[in-house]
Structure 1
């Protein structure tokens, strides 16, 4: 499944819009966004600010590179970015469509869906972290400006990673509440006859589960996308050097 590139910030991401709607369809998105933005201001402390300031103020000196090691080029970085993105997206579509359909999952409620979501989050961690480091290393071997960007990204990843992980860990809890509301609203009309537990409301929930996972994937990939884009702008300069 081809995914549209999202260039919005965290507070304007598709993930946050989806969660706002699933949590309470009546809630105003602007209010939800403002509350979340206020929370972001609490993510960094004074020590983090000092580290970030040091990275921003670092001298614009060319980073040393190994004479035998050619820095990653934009085409290579972009191809690897697209490969990882497509691999993770395909796994999300496959797993979200299959979860809860096994007879072993019958009667377990939200538990199989929680396990599916957490497993996909772990897969994103494992794949995107090394990809980001690889692209960051390519930047560090480029111009002094790109080396500074790589240093800033290193600090930002260290500062925000724990907070981001804590925030994303709450997504399954929000989905569980949505699961309960959807089951109460849609399964109640189907009665208690055979098949009501596996009714259309579960297919609807699987679609929501997939949409939220894909939105989280795009959110997690945004820093990598930005680094790859910076590397693209550096290609003409590298070819002239």
Structure 2
């Protein structure tokens, strides 16, 4: 059996390197995609994403008089420890063993999914839902605490709320492609590990799927890396809020 890693690395070596954040480069490799050599300018991309209604809302958040600081629970060491605990628990869930049993219920979108990949797809979707729910609640809670510290920070919290409302739908739409790209990566690694004799002249008893081995271990590690990278992306605004909360 030929070394699957040699074939896949040889194929990847013919492509120009993709510039941009590590998460984007990782997904481009999984999808075997050729992305633009020069990433789009952030300000130009934001201008495309903000319609006039959102732009007016953001302008008001930036230009109106400073809001009054409200009353409520403040940010302290216990709150910061809870943020770290949540992040750690999500990482541990990503690292947990994948349940390889067949799903009890199959949604319509899973009908065309490779049966071998299906448990990993379920794990990926479950982790994405958990990350979205946990980080969304945490971001809102930190924003409320930030608004308590000073009028200037209350404005920052207001701007973050507008940015979340504007950018989160696009973020979710982009992250929704991750399970599909991982599925393509799974198939590519699996196919590269198949014996050369598999094909029209292959004997009837040739397995359609190679036994678990280096290719599957590599896929599991790549999926883990992708989910951890997504977790970091989802925590970027939270890290910004935490930095602002620590500043006195």
TM normalised by structure 2 equals 0.76
Partners of 2:197 and 2:246 lie apart in 1 by 54
Partners of 1:38 and 1:179 lie apart in 2 by 35
The equivalent residue for 1:128 is 135
Partners of 2:138 and 2:170 lie apart in 1 by 20
1:202/1:189 CA distance change after superposition, 3 Å = farther
Query: Displacement of 1:60 after TM fit?
Result: 1.9
Residue 151 of structure 2 corresponds to residue 137 of structure 1: no
Residue 245 of structure 2 corresponds to residue 231 of structure 1: yes
Residue 68 of structure 2 corresponds to residue 62 of structure 1: yes
1:105-127 residue CA offsets vs partner (Å, 9 max, x unmatched): 8x712221111111000001121
**Does the 8 Å contact 1:135/1:227 carry over to 2?**
yes
Query: Displacement of 1:35 after TM fit?
Result: 9.2
Structure 1: where are the runs of 5+ without partners? 1-10, 235-241
Give the counterpart of 1:202 among 207, 216, 232.
216
The equivalent residue for 2:185 is 178
Structure 2: where are the runs of 5+ without partners? 1-18, 104-113, 199-205
Partners of 2:43 and 2:26 lie apart in 1 by 16
Partners of 2:124 and 2:43 lie apart in 1 by 25
The equivalent residue for 1:21 is 29
Query: Displacement of 1:162 after TM fit?
Result: 1.0
Partners of 1:182 and 1:37 lie apart in 2 by 37
Query: Displacement of 1:211 after TM fit?
Result: 0.3
Partners of 2:82 and 2:20 lie apart in 1 by 26
Residue 50 of structure 2 corresponds to residue 50 of structure 1: no
**Does the 8 Å contact 1:187/1:199 carry over to 2?**
no
Partners of 2:86 and 2:174 lie apart in 1 by 23
Q: Based on CA coordinates, which of the two structures has the bigger radius of gyration? A: 2
TM normalised by structure 1 equals 0.78
Query: Displacement of 1:14 after TM fit?
Result: 2.7
Higher helix share: 1
The equivalent residue for 2:16 is none
- Greater CA deviation, 178-187 or 82-91? 178-187
1:39/1:183 CA distance change after superposition, 3 Å = farther
